[in-house]
Every structure is written in structure tokens, then in C-alpha cells.
């Protein structure tokens, strides 16, 4: 059986923007009673902060955090961002997580518009709908190349793909739009995928079912390859805002736009009405995500006023602010306040503190990051990096992992040794060394 889906109109895939620095984090690492395990789910140390974050997660699940936000305070490199990411992972895989920096907000042409869009990206709606799809394990995939008299090189003209379930098998010819998605996702034999017949969107890409080293086993689908199935999809409010703003002729809740049209308050109101209607009909549920604002002390009084009002909204995300500042001036005012934030806003925040890591914790973090980045360390090299992390900074020690691996490979070794670490720590300066350099050559450097 061969079906042709070349006519399908496909919209681009949004790629996730999770930082690779925190790719190993799977949750807060708490036991069933909410107590932090020393090492779990990619988290190390910061026991009290993680347990406090666990209580925040439970409040969110129970819908009891309304009108409040979270502030994380601690020195640089003490895991504030990691805890925010872990909170999102605890809330679910489809929980939106949006990270911005206070300097980004301050530099924006329209600060409130920037923050509004960040808010809308950080709130999701989980929609249930019955769709016609083709799904199964990829048993064969061949890309079709075509040539043109107007272009000298072959281009992607489509693909032939064979899928198999426990009960059925079928082959399909797809157009270039679908083929481009398959190629972009790196789909190959053994993947479990699903393609929406109406939109042509490759909706899911699962782990390899034929690989023996997968971290999560994926069950081969049952039933017909082509069938109608109940699909659960999480969109953000901004996704729907963008679709409505473009006034698409045939709007589907699973569509995305390549370019964003102007989103007005009227468009947002229409989105809110649509979401309320879907909720009332039992077709959707709200998914509060996390809006993480790092270096929150960079915000000014206008931005703080927006946050104070916006966190009371019915469709507000969980606002998590982070700062490493003590007493400092609130931007846009003459007031000196803790963390550079208005006191009336601070009264509405649940404050979590982080502390510098111990030497043992630094060692475990470096071991974890080395494993995540596929860097093999000798015990002596790990000890030296631990010392560097303790005396200079953990971030600096982590940043030396990959350069040290390159140096080790140049000498024909797959393992990083002490001389490799010593060399890269000499040619790459840390913050303190850079400051000393600036002071030494201040008369030669431009001001």
C-alpha cells in the first residue's frame, strides 16, 4: 500500500532550546517524602534549596501558588538555574520552560512587550484531539533526490518510508516538506515515529527500539499503521497567539508559523477565550510553565511593576527570579533594597537560598559533567580540576573539560591527565586572572 502525501503543507519545527549545560537534569532528586538525596536525577548538593523547590512544585500541582513567585538567591555557580530546570522536569516533560536574562529585558525596545511574550511562551495548554496519523517503527527509509534545469545540484524531492506496528505494515511516499523534517530529526531505521496525515507534521520521534543501550524502552505501536488516534499535544499561549494573529484560513491547534505577525491585546484576548472554551468543554487543561529570569537585579522599576501585576493573572506561569546581589539600588529609582528589588515585590516572593558547593560536591559535579560530555578523566586530573573548582570557580573547572580532552586527543590519548589540565588552565584565564590582567595592562588597554 502506497499513499502519496506530497501535497501536505508543513510548517517548521520549533527546536527545543534547553541548555546543554543542564541536559543531564531529570528532576530535583527527592525521595517520596520530599527529602533530597545527596546525588540523584543529575542534582548534587543544595539539599535545602532542592527540598524548598520540591514544596513549590507540590504547591503548583495543587494550584495553590497563585499570586506568588519564587526568588533564588546565592553566589554565582551555585545551581540556581539547575534547580529551576529541575522544577520544570518535575512538573512534566511538556511543561514549558522559558529562560531570559534581566539584561535582555532591560535592553528590549519595549520591556513590557518582551515580558508579555515571555509570559505567553511559559504557559501551555494540553489539548486532546482525535487525528488521522500514520505511526510505527521505521523499517526502511530512502530519500528521493531530484534535479532541476535551473539548479546544478540535486535537491531533496521526498522520501519513501516503510512503517511497521505489531499488527500491520505499510509503505508511504512523502513529499519534500515531510522528508525535510525526517532528515532534520535524524530519523533512521528503528525509530518510532508518528506523522499527522492532515498537516504532514512529524509529531514524535522516540528512542531507537533496536539499540541495546537506550535509557528508555519504547514499545512498538499496535493496530493499523494508518488510523485515527487520540493525540495529546501541548501548545503555548504564544503559539496560539501567533496563529490567530496571522488569520490563517484553516487554523488548526497543531500548526505553527515560520514568521510571527503582530500580536495585539485583542489577539491575546481571543486566545484566552479559546483556551477557556476548550477547558470548559473538557478538551484541554492548563499547563503552567516556568518563566526563569536570571540576573533579576538588572530589571528596572517598570519591569518589576509589570511582574507584580502579571503574576496575579489567571494564566500566569510560575515566575522564578534569580540573583547573586545583596543590597543594591533598584534600577529606575534611588531606593537601595535587598537584591535590587522593590520591597513590596519581595514580600510576594518565596525566597530560596543556595550556598557554595563543598569540595566533595564539586568533585561529584565534575564527574557527572565529564560523563555527560564523554570526557574520561584520570583520578589525578579529577583531583586537580576539583582543586581548581574550589579555588577559582566551579564553572571555570567545568569549562576546562572539553579543551583538556582536545589536548589529550592531540597526544593520542583518550584520557585526560594532569598535564592536559595544567596546560589548558594556563592558556585559558578564569575571571580572577582576567581581572589581574586588566589591572596589569590598564595603561595599554582601551577605555
Confidence of residue 212 (pLDDT cuts 50, 70, 90): very low
Looking at the predicted structure, is the pLDDT value of residue 207 above 50? no
Residue range(s) defining the domain that contains residue 49: 20-122+289-353
d(CA 370, CA 382): 9
For position 31, which CATH number holds?
3.40.50.300
Where a domain ends, among 204, 234, 264? 234
Does the residue 255 lie in any domain? no
Q: What is the pLDDT of residues 222-248, one digit of tens each?
A: 889 998 888 888 889 999 998 888 754
Does the residue 280 lie in any domain? no
Among candidate residues 128, 317, 103, the one with its CA nearest the CA of residue 229? 128
Calculate the average pLDDT of the chain. 85
Q: What is the pLDDT of residues 96-144, one digit of tens each?
A: 999 999 999 999 989 999 999 999 999 999 988 888 889 999 999 999 8
Looking at the predicted structure, is the pLDDT value of residue 369 above 50? yes
Confidence of residue 217 (pLDDT cuts 50, 70, 90): low
- Residues 39-48 have a mean pLDDT of 92
Looking at the predicted structure, is the pLDDT value of residue 51 above 70? yes
The pLDDT, as a whole number, for residue 1 is 38
CB 409 within 8 A of CB 447: no
Does the residue 373 lie in any domain? yes
Among candidate residues 163, 170, 143, 160, the one with its CA nearest the CA of residue 204? 163
429 and 391 part of one domain: yes
Looking at the predicted structure, is the pLDDT value of residue 257 above 50? no
347 and 368 part of one domain: no
198 and 145 part of one domain: yes
Percent of the chain with pLDDT over 90: 55
Among candidate residues 20, 113, 130, the one with its CA nearest the CA of residue 310? 113
For position 380, which CATH number holds?
1.10.8.60
CB hemisphere CA count around 433 (13 angstroms): 11
Q: Determine if the pTM surpasses 0.85.
A: no
176 and 314 part of one domain: no
199 and 340 part of one domain: no
53 and 114 part of one domain: yes
Number of domains in the chain: 3
8 and 144 part of one domain: yes
Q: What is the pLDDT of residues 311-363, one digit of tens each?
A: 888 888 999 999 999 999 999 999 999 999 999 999 999 999 999 999 999 99
Amino acid at each position: 500500500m502506497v499513499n502519496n502525501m506530497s501535497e501536505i503543507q508543513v510548517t517548521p519545527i520549533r527546536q527545543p532550546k534547553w541548555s546543554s549545560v543542564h541536559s543531564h537534569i531529570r528532576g530535583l532528586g527527592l525521595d517520596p517524602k520530599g527529602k533530597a538525596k545527596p546525588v540523584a536525577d543529575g542534582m548534587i548538593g543544595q539539599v535545602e534549596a532542592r527540598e524548598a523547590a520540591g514544596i513549590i512544585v507540590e504547591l503548583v500541582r495543587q494550584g495553590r501558588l497563585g499570586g506568588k513567585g519564587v526568588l533564588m538567591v546565592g553566589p554565582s555557580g551555585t545551581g540556581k538555574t539547575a534547580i529551576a530546570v529541575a522544577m520544570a522536569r518535575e512538573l512534566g516533560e511538556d511543561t514549558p520552560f522559558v529562560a531570559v536574562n534581566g539584561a535582555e529585558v532591560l535592553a528590549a525596545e519595549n520591556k513590557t512587550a518582551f515580558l508579555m511574550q515571555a509570559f505567553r511562551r511559559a504557559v501551555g495548554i494540553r489539548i486532546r484531539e482525535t487525528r488521522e496519523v500514520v505511526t510505527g517503527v521505521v523499517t526502511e527509509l530512502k530519500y528521493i533526490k531530484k534535479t532541476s534545469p535551473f539548479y546544478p545540484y540535486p535537491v531533496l524531492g521526498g522520501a519513501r518510508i516503510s512503517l511497521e506496528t505489531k499488527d500491520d505494515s505499510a509503505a508511504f511516499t512523502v513529499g519534500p516538506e515531510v522528508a525535510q523534517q525526517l532528515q532534520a530529526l535524524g530519523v533512521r531505521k528503528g525509530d518510532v515515529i508518528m506523522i499527522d496525515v492532515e498537516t504532514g507534521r512529524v509529531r514524535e520521534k522516540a528512542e531507537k527500539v533496536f539499540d541495546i543501550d537506550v535509557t528508555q524502552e519504547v514499545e512498538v505501536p499496535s493496530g493499523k499503521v494508518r488510523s485515527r488516534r487520540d493525540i495529546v499535544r501541548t501548545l503555548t499561549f504564544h503559539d496560539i497567539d501567533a496563529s490567530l494573529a496571522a488569520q490563517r484560513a484553516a487554523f488548526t491547534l497543531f500548526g505553527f508559523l515560520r514568521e510571527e505577525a503582530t500580536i495585539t491585546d485583542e489577539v491575546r484576548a481571543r486566545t484566552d477565550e479559546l483556551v477557556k472554551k476548550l477547558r470548559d468543554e473538557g478538551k484541554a487543561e492548563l499547563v503552567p510553565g516556568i518563566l526563569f529570569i536570571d540576573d533579576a537585579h538588572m530589571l528596572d522599576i517598570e519591569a518589576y511593576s509589570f511582574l507584580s501585576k502579571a503574576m496575579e493573572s489567571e494564566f500566569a506561569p510560575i515566575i522564578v527570579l534569580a540573583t547573586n546581589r545583596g543590597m543594591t539600588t533598584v534600577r529606575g529609582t534611588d531606593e537601595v533594597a535587598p537584591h535590587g528589588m522593590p520591597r513590596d515585590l519581595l514580600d510576594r516572593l518565596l525566597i530560596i537560598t543556595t550556598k557554595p558547593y563543598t569540595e566533595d560536591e564539586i568533585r561529584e559535579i565534575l564527574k557527572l559533567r565529564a560523563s555527560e560530555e564523554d570526557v574520561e578523566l584520570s583520578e589525578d586530573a579529577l583531583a586537580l580540576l576539583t582543586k581548581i573548582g574550589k579555588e577559582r570557580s566551579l564553572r571555570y573547572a567545568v569549562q576546562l573539560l572539553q579543551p583538556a580532552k582536545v589536548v589529550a586527543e592531540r597526544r593520542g590519548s583518550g584520557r585526560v591527565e594532569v598535564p592536559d589540565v595544567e596546560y589548558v588552565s594556563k592558556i585559558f584565564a578564569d575571571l580572577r586572572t582576567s581581572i589581574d590582567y586588566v589591572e596589569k595592562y590598564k595603561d595599554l588597554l582601551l577605555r
